[in-house]
Amino acid sequence: MNPETAQVTLATSFPWPRLPFDPPEIYAWLREERPVTRVTTRAGEPAWLVTRYDDVRAVLADPRVSADIRHPGFPLIFSSHEESAPDNTRSFLRMDPPEHTLYRRLLSKNFQVKRVEAMRPAVQALVDDAIDAMLTNPHRPIDLVQALALPVPSTVLSWILGVPVEDQAFFNKIAEQLGHRGDGSDPTVMDQARNAHAELHAYVSRLGAAREAAEDPGNDILGQLVKAAREGVIPPEQVANIALVLTVAGHDTTASMTALGTLTLLQHPAQLAELQQNPALIPNAIEELLRYLTIVHLVVTRVATEDLEVGGVVIPAGEGIIPLNFAANRDDTHYPDADRFDIHRQARDHMAFGYGVHQCMGQPLARMELHVIFETLLRRIPTLRLAIPVEDVPFKSWANINGVFELPVTW
Ligand code: HEM
């Protein structure tokens, strides 16, 4: 990007639209020329963008950097409801240790590799059923988002949280609306996202209340939370807040990785064929897909609690920081030729799951689900292809979780 175009882009508010598979073009220029730079967000707030791999990692590991949204300088990006949640709906995603540590300890056992692996056969059966339904459906094309990408993580969340299976259709609908955020300028779209958030909060509150009324609240996550609230370990309103954050964090993310990941593989037929011949490469390919797509990138926001030197620049105490994990994951000094998708690359140290104390708690679950999904899809529908030109795929270029609205496929 030439310096003039870069200046023009910088003069407009952050964020800038993504390209279908890539970050906004200016990220590469920023990494080279202005690795730590101050911008104004769409919500009208100043914030420092950090773009180099080492700097993003350093910021996310720094105890002088806070994730607590109550700090006045905490950067709001779109000024949406979830970002400016009042204190009683604040989740542990927006807390610092030691408060944050309490919630991580309470929940982490549910996401340990052993616990997650025990669910693998059930997830395999779920994915097989979804693919059976695709294969026996006489209609073509089929939207992979509705047929596979959304229902799998949604059902798995129902299991671990303890949400009744009959509410799944509702769950899918709400998750989809949460993902339709737009660029913050269309009030209808913003209202829809805000309403979906409120509706989901009301729903999980009702579920929590029903468990609260039961003598034995159960052993799933909702049951564990209700017990913790009864024992005074967590405030009662956190039962719904945590259920909500898990639903939002675990739903659209895995769904988007499934749809956008499949599309990426279809765009790289030689590598796709290699994976079909040698499925043992799939786990490594998933790490590369996570790095290359970095679907969650406008969620990782922080504030400096002290003056902080990052990449030779001092970020003053009280100012917002946006460590751009998407820019970091495309840093050539860490991943040679980083814009190239390469299933053989060693990419497991990517920051698609964030880094530091808030690093994604659901990553073992996401990895297992994606492994089952990609292994089964490539094996059972080996001739899968996109049913429309890639230019016509409706990409979510503004959402804070990147993905596609639909993915028509055939075979
Ligand atoms: C491929 C799918 C996923 C991606 C790319 C992803 C990405 C992320 C990222 C980047 C963060 C860090 C946010 C920050 O530092 O501010 C995060 C946090 C989190 N994720 Fe995920 N996630 C995925 C799937 C899941 C799943 C399946 C669950 C659970 C069901 C989950 C639960 C969480 C939770 C609870 C946090 C907050 C952790 C904390 O604040 O301590 N995620 N995720």
Report the domain count for the chain. 1
Q: Which atom of ligand 1 is nearest to the CA of 302?
A: 16
Question: Which residue's alpha carbon is nearest to atom 6 within ligand 1?
Answer: 353
Q: Which atom of ligand 1 is nearest to the CA of 325?
A: 10
Q: How confident is the model at residue 175 (pLDDT cuts 50, 70, 90)?
A: low
For the segment 313-335, what is each residue's pLDDT rounded down to a tens digit?
999 999 999 999 999 999 999 99
Q: Is 221 in the pocket of ligand 1 (CB under 6 A)?
A: no
Residue 214 belongs to a domain with what CATH number?
A: 1.10.630.10
For the segment 41-55, what is each residue's pLDDT rounded down to a tens digit?
988 889 999 999 999
For the segment 128-138, what is each residue's pLDDT rounded down to a tens digit?
999 999 999 99
Calpha distance 261→229 (Å, rounded): 39
Q: How confident is the model at residue 66 (pLDDT cuts 50, 70, 90)?
A: very high
| Contacting residues for 157 by C-beta, under 8 A, at least 6 apart | 163, 171, 246, 247, 250, 251
Output Rg (C-alpha) for the chain, integer angstroms.
Answer: 21
Q: Is 154 in the pocket of ligand 1 (CB under 6 A)?
A: no
Residue 84 has pLDDT above 60, yes or no: no
What DSSP line would sit under 231-287, residue for residue? TTSS-THHHHHHHHHHHHHHHHHHHHHHHHHHHHHHT-HHHHHHHHH-GGGHHHHHH
Return the pLDDT at 81. Answer: 43
Calpha distance 133→106 (Å, rounded): 38
What's the pTM value of the predicted model, to 2 decimals?
Answer: 0.95
Mutate to test the pocket of ligand 1, among 360, 363, 369 (most ligand atoms within 8 A of CB): 360
Residue 80 has pLDDT above 80, yes or no: no
Largest CA distance in the chain: 66
Return the pLDDT at 33. Answer: 96
Domain that holds residue 272: 3-410
Q: Which of 158-167, 173-182, 311-320 has the highest mean pLDDT?
A: 311-320
Residue 83 has pLDDT above 60, yes or no: no
